Amino acid sequence: MSGKTLSSADTARYARQIRLSGFGPQAQSALLDSHVLVIGAGGLGAPVLTYLAAAGVGHISIIDPDTVELSNLHRQFIHSETGVGQRKVESAKHRLGELNSAIDITTHPVLLTPDNALELIGAADIVIDGSDNFATRYLANDACEILEKPLVWGTILGFDGQVAVFDTRQGATLRDLYPVVPAPGSVPDCATAGVLGALCGSIGAAMAMETIKVLTGIGTPLCNAVSIHSSLDASWETVPVGRIPNRQPITDLESHLGDYGDTLGSHGDESAAGTSEGTDPSVTWASLAPGTHLVDIRDDDEVSAGMVPGAQHIPMDALLEDPGQLAGHELVALYCRSGVRSSRACAQLRAQGTEVSSVSGGYLAYLSLPH
């Protein structure tokens, strides 16, 4: 390990962890000399960012196009009531600056897309995936495999969570754990299934610890395995994950654009956005036909922080209960936060004979557009 020389202020601030047997000034120096890219400043990003800034990671980049909503605050404790309506990256930067003014924080208020992934990830020493959709997770994984960057990955659903370190130089990646990309809308997100804030803290803290281990060389990172946590019985189980024999390595993103449908936003093309069993035609913000009637299917608390100008707000449950609310509109496109719920709603409505489409990337992709 190597890194920057510790100042007297560094030695005083990080004294408790420097004193740890096996950690010492060399590990602290390595942290201060590191650049971490964190994808998502939400439920998992909040504890990850807080602990890494407190631990003294010298440069932290945050990518997230979203804005702070009141419903975020029960778990995304890096934000506050005064930050509602602000960009999450700026709210997080402000809080981290209060916690540790000696580190550098770079913000990227955009979605991770095939257009920017290699550039953003290439500048970092390690990537932490705190996103909440499969499209972004596979995109981050593939870009890290191409660039040979370690990826700390975590996910939560219901009362359970998972943590892993994917590093193609040492073996397994996300595509070895989950070879088949789930169809859009097939797995509920937190807005649909719900989530407890304390579970985000448990998984996020574990992700931060794995990151520190990789950057400093202490301990044994969770490579070639996934750790599964059940919060209801406080159990942790570690399951081995091996490289799939003869799996072709990821060498470019263009060959896998169909897996990144929800991240394409304005940059992708409609044919690459993917469908769900042929029933969910997706469009991007750039490919919306003139005169398309936009319908925001998010919940009331979500739209309170903002919505696309001119869009009609019909919560998903209300729309599915009464599709007749769309009568009179020839072209209709649904959008939610990230494209997951709109994809599911689109498939159900089309199965019932209502012609609608789903906007890939949802409101997050809209926020990524130049305004």
Q: Residue 281 corresponds to which tokens in the numbers above?
A: 């035609």
Cβ pair 261, 326 in contact under 8 A: no
In sequence order, the 6+-apart residues with CB closer than 8 A to the CB of 55 are 14, 17, 31, 208, 212
Amino acid of residue 251: T
Q: Residue 143 corresponds to which tokens in the numbers above?
A: 């870009």
Amino acid of residue 263: T
If you write DSSP's letter for every residue of 183-211 in order, what string do you get? PTTSS--HHHH-B-HHHHHHHHHHHHHHH
Residue among 190, 200, 223, 346 flagged as catalytic? 190
Cβ pair 358, 332 in contact under 8 A: no
- Candidates 183, 178, 138, 179; CA nearest to 275 is 183
CA 201 to the chain's CA centroid: 15
Residue among 144, 200, 336, 346 flagged as catalytic? 336
Q: Residue 172 corresponds to which tokens in the numbers above?
A: 């397994």
Is 190 designated active site?
yes
CA 145 to the chain's CA centroid: 17
Is 336 designated active site?
yes
Amino acid of residue 284: T
What string of H, E and C letters represents the secondary structure of 122-184? HCCCEEEECCCCHHHHHHHHHHHHHHCCCEEEEEEEECEEEEEEECCCCCCCHHHHCCCCCCC
Secondary structure letter of residue 226 according to DSSP: E
Cβ pair 96, 139 in contact under 8 A: no
Residues annotated as catalytic are 190, 336
